[in-house]
Amino acid sequence: MKFLKRIVAVLIVLFGLFYFVGLPYLRKETKKHSPEKTSSYTLQGTQLEVHYSSPAKKGRPIFGGLVPFDQVWRTGANEPTTFTTSGAIKIIDKPLPAGTYSLWTIPNKESWKVIFNKEVPDWGVSIFGGGTQTTRDAGEDLINVEVPSREISQPVENFTIDFTNEDQLYLSLSWDQTRINVPINK
């Protein structure tokens, strides 16, 4: 019985070390390679903010390679990308209430599906899935839209999400030689 108690105590200590020391260390180390970034914009008094981690191309083929086509991507690295709005907006023509959402995408050669999900999971991919299985709960998807992707002539080294205001406001995602623009309306 004492032996069993010792094993349980050792397991609890090891779990505690991993959870309170190991995981924070791993998160800090991964962010050296994919630093955290924030982009913000004010749209008619409504504050918009996107928070993400920005991996680098490093000579790798990105879309259709590192990021497979037709699979859900956590849209960045490390924790899932979050999109926050202080007031109600529309993504294309679909209403998005005030709040914070996780942002997921399904890249494809001609177009991308862009998903705003009500939940923000801790990491975004399953450890046991080798980094290819996301932790997104599709039942919590609030908005799912499809936008065209376009090839850009000058490669973008670091994954970038920003707000661009051309003929209207867009949430723009760029990496390698690909860009998508997601229309945002008030």
Do 24 and 38 have their domain in common?
A: no
Mean pLDDT of the chain: 86
Do 177 and 146 have their domain in common?
A: yes
167-181 pLDDT per residue, tens: 899 999 999 999 999
* Alpha-carbon distances, residue 76 vs 57, 93, 119, 131, 174 (angstroms): 12, 25, 17, 12, 11
Which residue type is seen at 76? G
Element (H, E) at 10: helix 2-17
Do 83 and 44 have their domain in common?
A: yes
Do 89 and 143 have their domain in common?
A: yes
> Range of 48's domain?
34-185
Q: Is the pTM of this model over 0.85?
A: no
Element (H, E) at 6: helix 2-17
Do 29 and 42 have their domain in common?
A: no
24-71 pLDDT per residue, tens: 555 555 555 679 999 999 999 999 999 999 999 999 999 999 999 999
What is the predicted pLDDT for the residue at 42?
97
For residue 77, is pLDDT > 80?
yes
Do 91 and 150 have their domain in common?
A: yes
Among 105, 100, 177, which Cα is nearest to 136's?
Answer: 105
Do 111 and 141 have their domain in common?
A: yes
- Domains of the chain: total: 2
Do 70 and 112 have their domain in common?
A: yes
